[in-house]
Amino acid sequence: MRQQYAVRSLMIVAGLIVLGIAVIAQMIRIQNSEQAKIFLSQGDLYAGEFRTFYPERGEIYDRNGHLLAGNRTVYEVGVSLGEMKDVDALAYVLGTYLDMTFEEVREKLLNSPETWTYVVVKDFVDANTVAALQEVVKQLEEADDDRLNGLGFKPHFQRSYPEKTLASNVLGFVARDGRGYFGIEEKYNDLLAGNPVQMWVPRDPNKATEIPKVPNGTTLVLTIHRDLQAKVESLLDESLVEYGAKNGTIIVMDPKTGEILAMASTPRIDLNNYTDYFLVYENGSQYNRAIGSAYEAGSVVKVLTMAAALDAGTVTPNTTYIDTGSINVGGITLRNWDRQPWGQRDMTECLRYSLNVCLAWVATQMGSPTFYSYMDRFGLGHRTGVDLADEAMGRLKVPGDSDWYPVDLGTNAFGQGVTVTPLQLMMAASAIANEGQMVTPHVLYAMLRDGHQYNVPSQYAGSPISAQTARTLTEMLAVSLEGESSAALVPGYRVAGKTGTAQIPTPNGYDPNHTNVSFIGWGPVDDPRFMIYIWLQEPTASIWSSQTTAPVFSKVAEQTVIMLNIPPDVVRAQYGSR
C-alpha cells in the first residue's frame, strides 16, 4: 500500500514540475512575443509616456568669443480640454495676452477634432508674456477660482541672434521647423542641431530625476572677427550711398590660411525676423553675393592672365608690347577701355593702365591650351569649397564648348565672358599673395563638443604658379599702384592690387553706361596678412573702379591693420618682425 502511495506522490511531483516548466516557458515566450514588444514600446499608459527630446542647438561665436547665435526659451501655450472649466474665461485671458481675438481662441478650443485632448493656442510665446499669464493663474488658484483650469505652458528653445543683422549673410537663420537655412546654419545644421532622443517620461514628478540629460548640439567658433565685420559692413553701406551703387560685397581674408575675417554683403536682414527674407530677396543667390552671385568681374582677372604668362615664361616684367589701340583675335577686333593707342609699354605698365589689347596679346602668345590650363588650375569654373551653403560655380568657357569662339581667348584674358564669384577670384589670387600656394577659404575655426575643442586646419588647393612668379607679380602690382598714385594706397603700408571695371552684358551686347566695379588687393607686400575683395554693383556716381572701389579698399585696409594690430612697414623693418 505504501509503495502505491509513493508512486502516486512521485507522479504528482513530476506533474507539478512539468507544469512549472511549462509556465516558465510560456512566460518566456510571451515576453519575447511581438505583442509584448509592441506593448513595451508603448509603455504603461498610466505610469508615463514616450517623448522625443530635442537638444539645445549649438551656439555660434566669433574668433574672439563674441556670441553671434544663441538660444532663448519660449513657450507653447495650450489647454488640456479634459480639464477646461470655462472656455469664455480662457478665450478672454489668452486673447488679451497673446495678441489674439476672443473669437480666435474660442474657435480653437471649441472646434478642435474630437480625438484631441490638448490644443495648442499659440507657440513661440516669449518668457515675459508667459510669466504674466502664470501670475494670473496663480492669483486665481489662491482664490480657489478654477476658470483657467487646463491652461499649460511647455518651454522649448528658439534661435536668437543678439547682433541682429551683423554677419547675417554668413550665419544664415533657423526657421521654426528647427532647420538651418543659408550660411553656417545650413552648412553645419546636423552638427548644430545634435541628435534627438526618445525617452520614457514618468508622470510621477518624484521620478523626474530618472530622465537623462540630452547632449547639446556642437558649438561652433568662426574665423570671423566681430569688430572688423561690423566695421566692414558699415563701410560697405556708406559706399553704396556715396557712389549710388545698387548692392555690393566686401571680403577680408587671411591669404596664408584662408580664414575669412569679414564677409559683408547687401542687403541684410535681422535674423530674429527671418521671415523678412521673402520681402528682401528675390532668390537665394542674393542672400550672400560674396559666394552666391557669379558675375563678369572685368580687369581684376588680368592678374591671373599675367600670372599664367609669367609662370609659363611667355613674358617677363620687362617684355614690351606696342599698343596700337586694337588687336584682332579670331577675326574680331578688340579695343582698349578708352579706345586709344598707348604705344610701347612693358608688362607692368600694361597692368597699371589696364590695357585690354596688351593682355589679349599676352593670351594669344600663350595659346589656348596653356591659358585655359592655368585658369583651370586657378579654380575658375569650380566652386571654392568654402564651408557655407549655396555657393555658385561661375563659368569659364573653354575650347570645345558649343558657345566658345576663338575670340574668347582674347576677351577672357581681360575678364570679359568669364563669370566668377568674389570669393572664387579671391581664392585664385591667394596663390599670388601666398608664395604660389592657393588656399581654400573657410569660416569655421573650431568646434566645441563634450568639453573639447577641435580646431579646423587650413587646407590648400594646389600651387598653380611658382613662388618666384607670385613674388614677381606682387611687386609688379605694387609698383603699378604706386606709379599711378592710386586711391587704393594705404599710408604706412605697401599694398598690391588691381582695379576692375566691367560693362554689364545685355541681350544686345555690353552696356557702356552700367558697370560692375571691383578691386582685389593685399598687403603688406613683404608679408601679406590680409587680402580684400570689393564689388559694387552699378554705381552711378562714377562707372570706374579707380574712383569707387579703389578708395573703399584703402578705407577697409586701414581698419584691417588697426583691428589685426599690424605694425607699419617702417616699424616692422626696424624691429625685424613680421
Q: What is the pLDDT of residues 456-512, one digit of tens each?
A: 999 999 999 999 999 999 999 999 999 877 899 999 999 999 999 999 988 888 888
pLDDT above 60 (res 383): yes
Which of 116, 117, 92, 89 has the alpha carbon at shortest distance from 104?
92
Query: Domain of 381: which CATH number?
Result: 3.40.710.10
CB 53 within 8 A of CB 154: no
- Is the pLDDT score of 361 beyond 80? yes
**Same structural domain for residues 105 and 251?**
no
- How does residue 81 score in pLDDT terms, banded at 50, 70 and 90? confident
Task: Please check whether residue 430 lies inside any domain of the structure.
Answer: yes
Q: Decide: 123 and 155 in contact? Cβ < 8 Å.
A: no
The answer on pLDDT for 35 being more than 70 is no
Residue 25's pLDDT is 72
211 occurs within a structural domain:
no
Nearest-angstrom CA–CA distance, 422 and 525:
21
Choosing from 146, 162, 178, the residue where a domain stops is 162
User: Alpha helices, DSSP H only, in 32-79?
Assistant: 34-42
Q: From CA 433, how far away is CA 573, in angstroms rounded?
A: 19
Question: CA-to-CA distance for 267 and 251, rounded, in angstroms?
Answer: 15
Residue where a domain terminates, one of 162, 197, 217? 162
pLDDT given for residue 203 in this prediction: 47
The stretch 523-546 carries a mean pLDDT of 96
What mean pLDDT is predicted for residues 235-255? Answer: 97
Does residue 151 sit in the same domain as residue 242?
no
pLDDT greater than 70 at residue 576? no
pLDDT at 46: 46
Does residue 176 form part of some domain?
Answer: no
Q: Of the candidates 427, 429, 419, 362, which has an alpha carbon nearest to the alpha carbon of residue 393?
A: 419
Residue-by-residue DSSP string for 192-220:
HH---EEEEEES-GGGGGGSPPPPPPPEE
**Reported confidence tier of residue 110, pLDDT bands at 50, 70, 90:** confident
Single residue among 145, 162, 179 that ends a domain in this structure: 162
Same domain, 155 and 262: no
Question: What cell numbers appear for 222 in the block?
Answer: 568662426
State the pLDDT at residue 200.
67
C-alpha span between 569 and 490 (Å, rounded) = 11
Q: Is 194 domain-assigned?
A: no
Round to whole Å and give the CA distance between 453 and 25: 53
Pairing of strands 67-80, 418-420: unpaired
Higher-confidence residue of 204 and 536: namely 536
Q: What is the pLDDT of residue 240?
A: 97
> For residue 139, is pLDDT > 70?
yes
Q: Inform me whether the pLDDT recorded for 436 exceeds 90.
A: yes
Number of CB atoms found within 10 A of residue 93's CB: 20
Task: Determine phi and psi for 566, rounding to 5 degrees.
Answer: -95, 115
* Nearest Cα to Cα of residue 74 among 106, 41, 103, 98: 98
- Let me know whether 237 and 156 are in one domain: no
**Closest to 252 measured CA to CA, from 263, 243, 244, 242:** 263
Q: Indicate if the pLDDT at residue 29 is higher than 80.
A: no
pLDDT interval class at 522 (50, 70, 90) = very high
Task: With H, G, I as helix, E, B as strand and everything else as coil, classify residue 52.
Answer: strand
How many Å apart are CA 237 and CA 247, to the nearest integer? 9
Beta bridge partners of 264: 250
**Are 253 and 370 in a shared domain?**
yes
Asked whether residue 391 is domain-assigned, the answer is yes
Residue carrying C-alpha cell 576677351: 411
Residues 145 and 275 in one domain: no
Domain that holds residue 338: 226-575
Confidence band for 185, pLDDT divided at 50, 70 and 90: very high
Whether 119 and 244 share a structural domain: no
Residue 439: per-residue pLDDT: 97
Domain membership of residue 288 (yes or no) is yes
CB-based contacts of 367: which residues, under 8 Å, 6+ apart?
none
How many domains in the chain?
2
Asked whether residue 21 is assigned to any structural domain, the reply reads no
531, three cell numbers: 587680402
The CATH number linked to 122 is 3.30.70.2110
pLDDT band at 38 (very low <50, low <70, confident <90, very high): very low
- What mean pLDDT is predicted for residues 527-533? 97
What pLDDT, on the 0 to 100 scale, is given for residue 204? 47
The region of weakest confidence among 77-91, 191-205, 482-496 is: 191-205
Work out the pLDDT band at 206, boundaries 50, 70, 90. Answer: very low
Question: pLDDT at position 486, please?
Answer: 85
Go through the chain and tell me how many residues it has: 578
Q: Looking at 40-44, 132-136, 549-553, which range is the least confident one?
A: 40-44
Same domain, 257 and 387: yes
- Report CA 155 to chain centroid distance, whole Å: 29
pLDDT at 31: 65
Q: Are 488 and 521 in contact (CB under 8 A)?
A: yes
Asked if 515 and 415 sit in the same domain, the reply is yes
Q: What is the structure's pLDDT at 13?
A: 66
Q: Are residues 291 and 158 located together in one domain of the fold?
A: no
Output the nine-digit C-alpha cell for 447. Answer: 568646434
Residues 153 and 242 in one domain: no
Work out the average pLDDT over 270-274.
Answer: 95
Average pLDDT over residues 312-320: 96
- Average pLDDT, rounded, for the chain: 89
Q: Interior CA angle at 227 toward 221 and 228, to 5°?
A: 95
Answer whether residue 177 is part of any domain.
no
Q: Any idea of the CA torsion for 438, 442, 445, 449, to the nearest 10 degrees?
A: -130
What is the SS3 string spanning 488-525?
CCECCECCEEEEEEEEEEECCEEEEEEEEEEEEEEECC
pLDDT tens-place string over residues 10-26: 677 666 777 777 777 77
Task: Label residue 144 by pLDDT band (50, 70, 90).
Answer: confident
Residues 285 and 384 in one domain: yes
Prediction pTM value = 0.85
Please report how many Cα atoms fall inside a 13 Å half-sphere around the Cα of residue 321, on the Cβ side: 27
Q: Is the pLDDT of residue 321 over 70?
A: yes
pLDDT for res 117: 79
Cα separation, 408 vs 355, whole angstroms: 16
Residue 494's nearest CA partner among 531, 532, 522, 534 is: 522
pLDDT of residue 572: 86
